[in-house]
Copies of this chain bind each other. A is one copy, B any other.
Amino acid sequence: MTVPVQSSRRSSELDAAAAAPAAPEGAALDEIGSLARETLGERVTEELRALLISGRLAPGEKLSLRRVAEALGVSMMPVREAVNRLVADKALEVLPGRAVRVPVLTLAQFRELTRVRLVVEGFAAEEATKIATPDQIAVIASHEDAFRQAASADPPDLAGAVAANRNLHFALYEAAGMPLLVETIERLWLKAGPILNLDMRAEARRLDRGSAVLMHAALVVALRERDTAAAREALAEDIQQAADHIEGTGRLAEG
């Protein structure tokens, strides 16, 4: 949320994609599906989701509809819509007194979240291992490479590692060919993102030790060998080790 304040409406980066919907006339106009179908509220939602997943919004951080609206150069209305959606997903919470903030998970909640992730993401990993195409595996491997480089750079490219990690995981999940499953996982990441990635952003050490790098490498190998059990195991280790690390930092709220 570092976008500079702008007094007039409709001015910031949100306008970038606002150009020409355009009406094709020549041939094959059955193909064009929706095209212009994206409201301001949806764009704000995406913006906030990205902020949450990448951990640029810290747990406990408070949001103001008016301030976010100002920062994004839109009116309060679309922000309100976006925040409401995220509150419905419990990715944000409104506490009595009407302040909106990023939830601070208790230890119990974080452990439950981790368990659910192990089940759901583990299943996705198995399915992906069964049916991923070589192309998809190559893409996953490229993300793995990007993550490793970002993690081992000096100094480590923390933001890059966070992004590569996200790309790697979701490329895997999408390879399972189950959109609803991916959607479910995204909602889980929305809740885990603030703690997990805030930490990854802050602490270079975890990256250096390289447990995540090892797990990712094992995952790619398992994919290539179509070893579903090994893939699930590697992913589970990745999730569990990150969770253990977070618990160790003691940044979680009391139960």
The distance in angstroms between the C-alpha atoms of A109 and B182, with both chains bound, is 13
Given A45-B88, A116-B181; 14 other pairs, CB 8 A cutoff: A34-B96, A81-B81, A84-B84, A85-B85, A88-B88, A90-B183, A109-B180, A112-B178, A113-B180, A115-B178, A119-B120, A120-B184, A180-B191, A187-B187
CB of A160 within 8 A of chain B?
no
Question: Can you name the residue of chain B whose Cβ is closest to the Cβ of A181?
Answer: B116
A120 partner residues in chain B, CB cutoff 8 A:
119-120, 184
A191 partner residues in chain B, CB cutoff 8 A:
180
Question: Can you name the residue of chain B whose Cβ is closest to the Cβ of A41?
Answer: B84
In the bound complex, do residue A178 and residue B116 qualify as a contact, i.e. CB atoms below 8 Å apart? yes
Give the copy number. Answer: 2
CB of A37 within 8 A of chain B?
yes
| Distance from A227 Cβ to chain B, minimum over Cβ atoms (Å) | 20
> With A85-B84, A89-B88 as given contacts, are A184 and B123 in contact (CB-CB < 8 Å)?
no
The distance in angstroms between the C-alpha atoms of A37 and B41, with both chains bound, is 25
**Residue contacts A-B, CB under 8 angstroms, 29 given:** A34-B96, A37-B96, A81-B84, A84-B84, A84-B85, A85-B85, A85-B88, A88-B88, A88-B89, A89-B89, A90-B183, A109-B179, A112-B178, A112-B179, A112-B181, A113-B180, A115-B178, A116-B178, A116-B180, A116-B181, A116-B184, A119-B119, A119-B120, A119-B123, A120-B120, A120-B184, A184-B184, A184-B187, A187-B187
A109 partner residues in chain B, CB cutoff 8 A:
179-180
Return the CB mask of A168-189 against B: 1 if under 8 Å, else 0.
0000000000111101100100
Question: Can you name the residue of chain B whose Cβ is closest to the Cβ of A90?
Answer: B183
A85 partner residues in chain B, CB cutoff 8 A:
84-85, 88
The distance in angstroms between the C-alpha atoms of A96 and B39, with both chains bound, is 11
A112 partner residues in chain B, CB cutoff 8 A:
178-181
